[in-house]
Amino acid sequence: MDWGRMNLHVLPAGPIQTNAYLLCSPAHGAAVLIDAPGGVWAQVQPILAAAHCRLTELWLTHGHWDHTQGAAEVVRATQARVRAHVADRVLYETPEVMSAFLAPGIRLESVRPDTWVEPGETFPALGLTAEVRHVPGHCPGNVLFYLAAMSAAFVGDALFAGSVGRTDFPGGSQAVLAESIRRQIYTLPAATKVYPGHGPATTVGDEMEGNHYVRG
């Protein structure tokens, strides 16, 4: 997908096909990766080379293993700056706490974010402005990254097309998640494209109207 000179690549990867999103701006010679499932670097590297872009930042929507399995490899290869929410610090820095939820043979490496994002903060990215919104409930540190100029929100596992994230993991809460979605996602413009951690994209308006788990 192309917004002028900004390209968005949807890159499902890892054992359960978790969505990573690569934003590449040839005009700036830079790129941002949102989430890093296992093996995603093999997909990212040739795209960066073809676009003559350097990966400058990695944004992690939350600390669950399927979104972070490839993070250490990405950082080693690129020295990208990592942004994440501190409520999931233990998951990033000591991923072995998630071992009970892993299939045999899956190995995890810790990743240490450079910046702990704050709810409501904004920061520049690829010539645009990114806004952080805290959307706990699936896990304590789930955040979304909203790029108003692209009318796009990258929401992690808070909300899916026609569904919502699981709340039966440690730190999850169905009530908290529903309230987070209403306050932090459904208050975005209805036309905003929602890019989830799994499955196809949707829009805020479609979910407010048709998502039977959490209606607007």
pLDDT digits (tens, 9 = 90+) for 130-156: 999 999 999 999 999 999 999 999 999
Cα 18 from Cα 12, distance rounded (Å): 5
Q: What is the pLDDT of residue 106?
A: 87
Closest CA relative to residue 182, chosen from 157, 159, 200, 203: 159
Domain spans of the chain, in order of start: 2-210
DSSP code of 103?
P
The phi-psi region of residue 182 (left if phi > 0; otherwise alpha if psi is between -120 and 50; otherwise beta) is: alpha
What is 2-210's CATH superfamily? Answer: Ribonuclease Z/Hydroxyacylglutathione hydrolase-like (3.60.15.10)
Number of H helices, E strands in the chain: 6, 15
Rounded Cα–Cα distance for residues 95 and 107 (Å): 9
CA distance 37 to 20: 7
d(CA 136, CA 179): 9
Q: What type of residue is 195?
A: Y
pLDDT in tens, 84-123: 999 999 999 999 999 888 877 888 999 999 999 999 999 9
- 40 Cβ contact partners less than 8 Å away, ≥ 6 residues apart: 11, 13, 14, 20, 33, 70, 74
Confidence of residue 128 (pLDDT cuts 50, 70, 90): very high
Distances (CA, A) of 136 to 103, 142, 151: 25, 5, 22
pLDDT at 66 over 60: yes
Residue 188's nearest CA partner among 154, 138, 139 is 154
Look over the chain and give the mean of its residue pLDDT values, rounded to a whole number.
95
The token pair at 14 is 């890892």
The closest alpha carbon to 79, from 33, 118, 135, 23, belongs to: 33
User: From CA 173, how far away is CA 32, in angstroms rounded?
Assistant: 30
Structure tokens at 90: 């233990």
**Rounded to whole angstroms, how far apart are CA atoms 82 and 137?**
22
pTM for the model: 0.96
